[in-house]
Amino acid sequence: MKKRVTLTLILVVILALSIVACADNGGQADRPDGEIAFTLEVTDDNGDVTTWEIETVHATVGEALLEEGLISGEDTDFGLMVTHVNGLRADFNEDGAYWAFYIDGEMAMAGVDDTEIEEGVVYALIFTPA
């Protein structure tokens, strides 16, 4: 009788662990293979923040945001210079304003088109006046 109870408890624990392991897939249950998700926060010229949850198959933040139609800009020798975010213009060449790019709260050391997407990271574009 004692062996049967022990065996039953072991099977219950294994079943419970299997259910938990299947349920915890990193939030990717509803995404096709190859897609990665990240958060984009945009702070506009009034200081208002809009947040998007982006799912993409692209490798870089720039590719994903271009595909979503959230950014546009000019190709330069240093990469994409973002001039428009969600329709709002900040063009350093015209008025000194620019879009600052942050990764998890820290200013990025590379542009959006050179930044590979990492699952769960929060990327931000912040309107910065002259």
> Rounded CA gap, 106 and 9, in Å?
49
Q: What CATH number is given for 36-128 in this structure?
A: 2.170.130.30
Let me know: does 71 contact 125? Beta carbons within 8 Å: yes
Please determine, for residue 18, whether its predicted confidence score (pLDDT) is greater than 50. no
Strand partners for 72: 84
Question: What pLDDT score does 91 carry?
Answer: 87
Pick from 121, 101, 98: nearest CA to 113? 101
Please determine, for residue 12, whether its predicted confidence score (pLDDT) is greater than 50. no
Which residues contact residue 99 at a Cβ distance below 8 angstroms, ignoring those fewer than 6 apart?
A: 71, 82, 83, 85, 90, 125, 126, 127, 128
> Rounded CA gap, 4 and 23, in Å?
29
- For the chain, give every domain's residue range: 36-128
Instruction: Give 35's pLDDT tier (boundaries 50, 70, 90).
Output: very high
Please determine, for residue 62, whether its predicted confidence score (pLDDT) is greater than 50. yes
Query: What's the average model confidence in pLDDT over 26-54?
Result: 85
Please determine, for residue 58, whether its predicted confidence score (pLDDT) is greater than 50. yes
Q: Give pTM, 2 decimals.
A: 0.75
Query: What's the average model confidence in pLDDT over 95-123?
Result: 97
